[in-house]
Structure 1
Amino acid sequence: MRLRSAARAALSRAGLVSRLVPRRVRMRLTLLYGLLFVISGAVLLTITYLLVNRPTNTVLVSRRGGSGSPGDAGVHMYTGDEVPGSVDSFAHAQQQQAVRQHAAEMQHLLTQSGIALAIMAVIAIGLGWLVAGRVLRPLRTITTTVQRISAHNVHERLAVEGPGDELKDLADTVDGLLGRLEAALDSHKRFVANAAHELRTPLTVEHALLEESLIDRDATVDSFRSNFERLLTLSEQQARLLESLLTLSGSERGLDRREPLDLAELTGNVLLGTRQEAERRELRVEAHTTPACIWGDDALVERLVANLVDNAMGYNVPDGWVTVVTGVRGGHAFVRVANTGPQIPAAGVSRLFEPFQRIGRTADNGHHGLGLSIVRSIAAAHDATLNAHARPQGGLVVEVGFPLRTTTAPLPDPPAVPATATHDVGPRPLSAAPE
């Protein structure tokens, strides 16, 4: 009970102190400037008082001759124990009077100094208020501008000019943040527009098929069956598109859990499920896998490998090949997928990793342009590097490098705002793949 009472009392005192502390930075700075001046002035006055208040043992004795001539007058100075006994009583009286006079003078000095300190403290508080306002003026400008910026005018910038001090660094940092926010909003708008377009096209076809079935009075069972088969195909395509969108959103949110994985094992599982598709497309699939242990989400990493293999098989040429390699190099575990295929401009490789981007390709083949963008998001969620370049003979080489698995599991990623652009996927040369 005593501990609880003491805790409640401490909390109440802390609340009282927090209520007493001014909420405005300008007022706090003013009080700080005034307090520092008062403390400095008090210390200076104390030092001056101690220096002036030093005691002295000097005794001055004045003597005038009996004739009263100026030549008989004399002044003798005695210090310490040199005072003779004949003048001791007179010196003692004079010394007491000097002490009283010195004390009165010191009291007067102390009073006048206190009054001067109080007056200067008021002046210092006023000057501190002006100086604090001048110092905080750029911050008020930054705050006002940031409050005015919204999604409609996110292109505006603070553009603070002046010396490269902390306030200039703060303004430049805010401008950089606004630039990244503008890029993210633009990417989000493009993503929404592309997703709406991808969904609108099959919906339009579905509506036309249903309308045809209703207005065709001579429709037969075979025509109905044909329309329903097309509707079923469109429905499956939309389901795959929605599943891809959900995977993309989930990978950009970050990882909720991490477990020990082996890229070689996951790659083997993926390749087992693609045998029939490879035979149907008459493609030769080769795997060169060695153990590559990482921490990660098994479903997402398997989806990454599956998307790479699916992309390599879907955009290939007759009698082509696909090569999948896993291993460890340079302190990283990697998976690399290379394939034959049509020529890809080197400058257009990075576009393939943006959502709904296709170079010379259409959506009629069942691909929506989300496979490689999902690969990029999953790689970013696992702190992996992503490199890609086009083969001179045609096709693409993509390599994803994961941090090697250590003995201790990393902590789960904190919740993050979904991002759009992450890694640089430019056409960088990779180590030679088995081609």
Structure 2
Amino acid sequence: MRLRSAARTARSRTNRIHGALPRAVASRAGLVSRLVPRRVRMRLTLLYGLLFVISGAVLLTITYLLVNRPTSTVLVSRRGGSGSPGDAGIHMYTRDEVPGAVDRFAHAQQQQAMRQHTAEMQHLLTQSGIALAIMSVIAIGLGWLVAGRVLRPLRTITTTVQRISAHNVHERLAVEGPGDELKDLADTVDGLLGRLETALDSHKRFVANAAHELRTPLTVEHALLEESLIDRDATVDSFRANFERLLTLSEQQARLLESLLTLSGSERGLDRREPLDLAELTGNVLVGARKEADRRNLRVEAHIHPAGLWGDDALIERLVANLVDNAMGYNVPDGWVTVVTGVKDGLAFVRVSNTGPRIPPAGVSRLFEPFQRIGRKADNGHHGLGLSIVRSIAAAHDATLNAHARPQGGLVVEVGFPLRTTAPATETYDDMARALSTAPE
């Protein structure tokens, strides 16, 4: 029992010691963090002062060692003669050549010289220390002034950035001066503010356009419901017609919300990547679009060749579907649509071209903005989000996007994805292309 009690006591003491160690380490770390100055100006001043003190101490040490270096002793003796400078009785002896009678006198003189040299060196060391202390104080003061002068543009940048908000994001730092690191920092912040202003303006336009797109069908729905309630002579046929229109409006709103969700999801980036074949996804899209092409009396030509890539199959299939849907929706009677997939310049590409109304070359880039439509017709089932979704999905896959207007009318859009390193399947899709193609371009 005594042994067990002693063991428990030892374990308890060990646990207390082990528990106290992390607390002691944390306490010391907190003490060190509290001792370190939080202001950059103070830290720079202390750094300047420390560097000066170290440099001065090293310089004084070197000077002291050079002055204190021992020299050989030379004794000058005169025997006879007049003592004139040219007297031949003057003899010079080194330490090893001094006669015995003169040696004692030379030793006394050497001891006196050593005591005098030691006193002079101590005096030199004291005066140098005082000079170093005075210059250290002056260096710290100058370091404080220099640090404040160097950090003044940084304080200006901080104050300006703190003042800028969503209401005055158009303001810029516009720091003038030499092209140093602070000027580069200010220019970088100005560029960031410019991109932020553009993003905020785009967000505001997107919210306004989305609200408009959602408000229009809601207004029509409210009018149809109100008409059904107010009209006392309403018949079953009129109710049915109103309900059919309400159902159509509801489907349009559902497609709009789905497009908005797809756009938001693609702008967040990819959660997963898997090996895909662009030709297979494009073939699936064209099979589903065949009925719509027949309804619109459009001719579809497909040249589908294997093209391997990494990506999200749902998003890429949606990209191809939006390109095909846009080519069919903005077309002319008896028009055509051409879809091509393959590998070119190290990229897996899909290109969709179509006939249609003429588009000004300067207005092609505007079509990839949200809620931009040719002719601004809101009753054709298109909300102007198809090409903006294409752009977002392409950006999420690090793909290139090129588009240009055809001189005869219509649009050509090509998306190039980074090619998958592994070789795609060798099979071709000529049979599917022949089945989907009804007429050449």
CA contact under 8 A between 1:26 and 1:132: conserved in structure 2?
Answer: yes
Aligned-pair distance for 1:105? 1.1
CA contact under 8 A between 1:285 and 1:322: conserved in structure 2?
Answer: yes
Aligned-pair distance for 1:364? 0.5
- Change in 2 beyond 3 A, CA 1:139/1:408: farther
1:186-205, aligned counterparts within 5 Å?
186-205=201-220
Task: Give the distance between the partners of 1:3 and 1:361, measured in 2 at CA.
Answer: 92
Residues 39-48 or 2-11, more deviating: 2-11
Query: What is the CA deviation profile of residues 26-80 of structure 1, one whole-angstrom value per residue up to 9, with x for unaligned ones?
Result: 1111111001100100010001001110112324456697999999998754333
Residues 394-403 or 6-15, more deviating: 6-15
Task: Give the distance between the partners of 1:423 and 1:152, measured in 2 at CA.
Answer: 55
1:340-379, aligned counterparts within 5 Å?
340-379=355-394
Aligned-pair distance for 1:359? 2.5
Aligned-pair distance for 1:168? 1.0
Task: Give the distance between the partners of 2:29 and 2:426, measured in 1 at CA.
Answer: 44
CA contact under 8 A between 1:389 and 1:426: conserved in structure 2?
Answer: no
Aligned-pair distance for 1:142? 0.5
CA contact under 8 A between 1:386 and 1:424: conserved in structure 2?
Answer: no
Counterpart of 2:251 in structure 1 is 236
Query: What is the CA deviation profile of residues 403-433 of structure 1, one whole-angstrom value per residue up to 9, with x for unaligned ones?
Result: 011x5999xxxxxxxx999999999999999
Residues 351-360 or 329-338, more deviating: 351-360
Task: Give the distance between the partners of 1:96 and 1:351, measured in 2 at CA.
Answer: 98
Residues 14-23 or 88-97, more deviating: 14-23
CA contact under 8 A between 2:76 and 2:92: conserved in structure 1?
Answer: yes
Matched, 1:208 2:223: yes
- Change in 2 beyond 3 A, CA 1:266/1:151: same
- Change in 2 beyond 3 A, CA 1:322/1:59: same
Counterpart of 1:420 in structure 2 is 426
Task: Give the distance between the partners of 1:22 and 1:425, measured in 2 at CA.
Answer: 75
TM-score by length of 2: 0.87
Matched, 1:409 2:420: no
CA contact under 8 A between 1:376 and 1:423: conserved in structure 2?
Answer: no
Q: What stretches of structure 2 of length at least 5 have no aligned partner? A: 8-22
Residues 186-195 or 76-85, more deviating: 76-85
SS at match of 1:364: coil
Q: What stretches of structure 1 of length at least 5 have no aligned partner? A: 411-418
Residues 18-27 or 128-137, more deviating: 18-27
Task: Give the distance between the partners of 2:34 and 2:396, measured in 1 at CA.
Answer: 43
Task: Give the distance between the partners of 1:425 and 1:126, measured in 2 at CA.
Answer: 85
Query: What is the CA deviation profile of residues 92-130 of structure 1, one whole-angstrom value per residue up to 9, with x for unaligned ones?
Result: 111111111111111111111111111111111111011
- Change in 2 beyond 3 A, CA 1:215/1:265: same
SS at match of 2:52: helix
- Change in 2 beyond 3 A, CA 1:93/1:374: same
SS at match of 1:334: strand
CA contact under 8 A between 2:286 and 2:436: conserved in structure 1?
Answer: no
Residues 424-433 or 301-310, more deviating: 424-433
Task: Give the distance between the partners of 1:420 and 1:64, measured in 2 at CA.
Answer: 116
CA contact under 8 A between 1:64 and 1:72: conserved in structure 2?
Answer: no
Counterpart of 2:439 in structure 1 is 433
CA contact under 8 A between 1:295 and 1:409: conserved in structure 2?
Answer: no
- Change in 2 beyond 3 A, CA 1:349/1:68: closer
Task: Give the distance between the partners of 2:5 and 2:290, measured in 1 at CA.
Answer: 73
CA contact under 8 A between 1:59 and 1:79: conserved in structure 2?
Answer: yes
CA contact under 8 A between 2:290 and 2:436: conserved in structure 1?
Answer: no
Task: Give the distance between the partners of 1:421 and 1:204, measured in 2 at CA.
Answer: 52
- Change in 2 beyond 3 A, CA 1:67/1:332: closer
SS at match of 2:341: strand
Aligned-pair distance for 1:86? 1.9
SS at match of 1:282: coil
Task: Give the distance between the partners of 1:420 and 1:179, measured in 2 at CA.
Answer: 48
CA contact under 8 A between 1:300 and 1:378: conserved in structure 2?
Answer: yes
- Change in 2 beyond 3 A, CA 1:429/1:135: farther
- Change in 2 beyond 3 A, CA 1:333/1:20: same
CA contact under 8 A between 1:316 and 1:342: conserved in structure 2?
Answer: yes
- Change in 2 beyond 3 A, CA 1:13/1:390: same
CA contact under 8 A between 1:202 and 1:234: conserved in structure 2?
Answer: yes
Aligned-pair distance for 1:264? 0.1
Count of residues in correspondence between the two structures: 426
- Change in 2 beyond 3 A, CA 1:348/1:360: same
Task: Give the distance between the partners of 1:241 and 1:352, measured in 2 at CA.
Answer: 17
Query: What is the CA deviation profile of residues 253-298 of structure 1, one whole-angstrom value per residue up to 9, with x for unaligned ones?
Result: 1011111111000001111111111111111111111110000011
SS at match of 2:61: helix
CA contact under 8 A between 1:199 and 1:238: conserved in structure 2?
Answer: yes
- Change in 2 beyond 3 A, CA 1:298/1:12: farther
- Change in 2 beyond 3 A, CA 1:38/1:294: same
- Change in 2 beyond 3 A, CA 1:247/1:420: farther
Query: What is the CA deviation profile of residues 173-221 of structure 1, one whole-angstrom value per residue up to 9, with x for unaligned ones?
Result: 1111111111111111111111111011111111111111111111111
Aligned-pair distance for 1:5? 25
CA contact under 8 A between 1:292 and 1:326: conserved in structure 2?
Answer: yes
Task: Give the distance between the partners of 1:68 and 1:46, measured in 2 at CA.
Answer: 43
SS at match of 2:435: coil
TM-score by length of 1: 0.88
CA contact under 8 A between 1:387 and 1:428: conserved in structure 2?
Answer: no
Task: Give the distance between the partners of 1:250 and 1:320, measured in 2 at CA.
Answer: 33
SS at match of 1:425: helix
SS at match of 1:113: helix
Task: Give the distance between the partners of 1:315 and 1:328, measured in 2 at CA.
Answer: 27
Counterpart of 1:253 in structure 2 is 268
CA contact under 8 A between 2:327 and 2:354: conserved in structure 1?
Answer: yes
CA contact under 8 A between 2:77 and 2:93: conserved in structure 1?
Answer: no
Aligned-pair distance for 1:251? 0.5
Matched, 1:33 2:48: yes
CA contact under 8 A between 2:302 and 2:437: conserved in structure 1?
Answer: no
Task: Give the distance between the partners of 1:426 and 1:159, measured in 2 at CA.
Answer: 60
Task: Give the distance between the partners of 2:431 and 2:190, measured in 1 at CA.
Answer: 25
Aligned-pair distance for 1:319? 1.1
- Change in 2 beyond 3 A, CA 1:389/1:15: same
Aligned-pair distance for 1:4? 25
Identity %: 92
